[in-house]
Amino acid sequence: MSRSTPTPGERVWLYSAAFWGLWLRDSHVLKASAGTFITRVAMQPLFLVFMFAYVFPMIGQDIGGAGDVSFATILAPGLIAFAVVFQGINLVAFPLVREISVSREIEDRVMAPLPITGLAIEKILFGAFQGLIAALIVWPLLYFVPAAEVDVGVESWPLLIAVLLLSTITAGAAGLAIGTAMKPTQIPLVVSVITLPVIFLGCVFYPWKGLETIPWLQVVVLVNPLVYVSEGLRAALTPQLPHLLPWVSIGALTVATTALGAIGVRGFHNRVLD
């Protein structure tokens, strides 16, 4: 008599193969649109670096520096944080909205021999992978574009790796949560209502301690995960600047990843089974 129920070992192998198949499929799509991906990732950081760290210093209007530290140095970790977080979110949330509400491609993915939670985790991790690629694309811009000297170096590789890994997974989880919560018609609203406040209140353009003169705002921005990515990268790349203690950034990103991941996975279950 044949056995119809797979053993735990067989299930692990089957799930792993299905997960890897979905990963390869997403990788193929990413490779096919590599030019668009690179342009989308690099355009906004390039423009910000060009304006704030090249044009303004060249016309004698350097802004935002702190003593002997140029604004380009202050801006560098924040721009990497910006690229990692927003590419991770956008590249999960927006395609997911289309897959669920427009193309219904999600129905094909659900047919894969993988639990729905596994599908959600693949979405998060592939978004994190794209966030890491975004960091590698933006990093060279910080050295070649600015007119002012950029004093950025890796002070702690373990801290840098921990912050990048946690921040990319946080971004992927946020993308899953947002993508399962909104409809296609709500995308412009999300971009205008969420994106701009998160960027400008995410310590991209200034250290968190720079807000000490506005105590209430310094407290309010702590709900923004981008703050901890920016500050964690400052601790790893520009330790000469004021920054949050590394364990604070790591702890906050861990909490954010857990909370957003739980919300995103539950939302994914609800939308897929709807």
Please write the tens of the pLDDT for every residue from 196-226.
888 889 999 889 998 999 999 999 999 999 9
β-bridge partners, 66: 69
User: What are the E-state strand segments in 30-113?
Assistant: none
Q: Whole-model pTM?
A: 0.87
pLDDT score of 66: 56
Low-confidence ranges of the chain (pLDDT < 50): 1-2
Residue 1's pLDDT is 42
pLDDT of the residue at 110: 74
Query: For residues 186 and 99, is the Cβ–Cβ distance under 8 A?
Result: no
146/130 Cα distance (integer angstroms): 25
What is the CB neighbour count within 10 angstroms for residue 205? 19
Residue extents of the structural domains in the chain: 8-273
- DSSP per-residue string spanning 218-255: HHHGGG-HHHHHHHHHHHHH-TTS----HHHHHHHHHH
